[in-house]
Structure 1
Amino acid sequence: MRWDPAKYAEFSDHRDRPFFDLTSRVAAGAPRRVVDLGCGPGRLTAALAERWPAAEVAGLDASAEMIRDAPARYGPGAPGHRPRLSFAVADAGDWEPGPDVDVLVTNAMLQWIPGHLELVARWLEALRPGAWFAAQVPGNFGSPSHALMRRLAESPRWAGRLAGILRHDDAVAEPAAYLKLLLDAGFEADARETTYQQVLAGADPVLDWVRGTGLRPVLSALDPAEAESFEREYGRLLRVAYPAFADRNGSPLTVYPFRRIFCVGWKAG
């Protein structure tokens, strides 16, 4: 699947907030090594390096496009240079935490991995006593934005091109399932959910939002002309599901409810 880092970053204020809400619950004092698994463009990984300047902080992502520019932004000579910050391409499905990992963060990544509960259980067992684990996933796969996308992809016009492309029914678990994983692995843990009422500006803001995330598998499967046609039809459905209203200056705004699921835990010794 092709990723577009620039498109992903368009709603950075909204996308960043769950990350900081998540990591604020991690109470590690002086970790040796911090791993941001599924780090995306690396901006939030750099925030971890600012928080723990003495730690070795690694940003790992399966998409080379996502982290392509990170060394230029944070490497030697760059304004954002942090000497203990590094980035590498890594497939989360093959990765294992080493004995020096004190904090493992995975933000908005697990939903892309089929069967990730088993993968998380493996990581939790491998983490040393005293380590922290923090994960956040979107919990809005039943929302109109995703249900309409699935319905359109399954319609007679698109089913032949998009069969099996969207995997939404089991993309994430409920908070209780993540909490049980942590408790079973000997963690002191909590899990919660939050629905952010995001106010988006512009003519088709919900379409613009999903272009950077949930719509990527569809766009990767279609040629440019097909993608434009799909987006046009999908955009019409979204405008009905998420009607815009005018602010005081007459500019269009749209409220997009966005549910997120969080789990954080500390492994007892």
Structure 2
Amino acid sequence: MNTFTVQPATAETLPDLVALIADREDAARRLTFMRERLAGGQFRLENTLILRSGRGVEGNALINAVPQIPVFPHLRSDAPEEAVTALARAILEGAGPEQRLLLDDHLAPLQAAPFEAAGWVLDSRHVMYETDLRARTYPLDPQAQTVNADQAEIRVLLEQLGQPDLELSEGWTLIALPGTDGSPVALGAVGPGGRPDTASVNMIGVLPQAREQGLGTRLHAHLLALAAQDYGRHDGGTEADNAAMRRIFDKHGSRLAATQMYFVQGSEAVPLT
């Protein structure tokens, strides 16, 4: 017999959405923010889910109205698997058709089975890194070139690197490194991140024939040097099995900040019994 429930929050149970945050000051700030948004009509309680058992809150999730933003479940490390599956199913039922689910090891155990049982499909694993841009200096590469994505040779290179439709947002700079014949073989971009004083880097790639020559390390260092001119921090990530990029992060003093699992929606969910 199930001894857990999954229900939306109410105005009275809103504190349960921050019950698992260990930093109580942070929890209080988030609760105040949610109450202000609720009062202003910018936050809907039907987009919240709270997983409870006899011992209290086991987990929760917020389903953003913007389907491009994944759902980040927050779970106790010892939440029962069948309870996690129930929450995962409720998220699937409430999510938009293109919405993904993201497990972050700071918020939930990285266990795929309960989510797969609910109908989610594991899509990829990622690692996230943080770099203190004031802790060291990074060299500007003398061969680096600022380029435009609309240049004919750059558009061809973008297609070869698998990003033919790349469009840079405002404030972003596209950088190329040349190969031995002088033509561009590596591309990356740098621009503002999602948090104050934080830069983001897009390592677009290096052509296969130009790999294992240190171009990726040189390009990443150049992009960090540009970022350090305006920002104090860099947040970035890569696939968990991308050993080459992870070595570059390590070389440049980046700190492993999180490991994540991305899920997409399966064609059919498995019903709970």
Task: Give the TM-score of the pair, scaled to structure 1.
Answer: 0.27
Task: Give the TM-score of the pair, scaled to structure 2.
Answer: 0.27
Query: Which one has the largest radius of gyration?
Result: 2
More helix by share: 1
More strand by share: 2
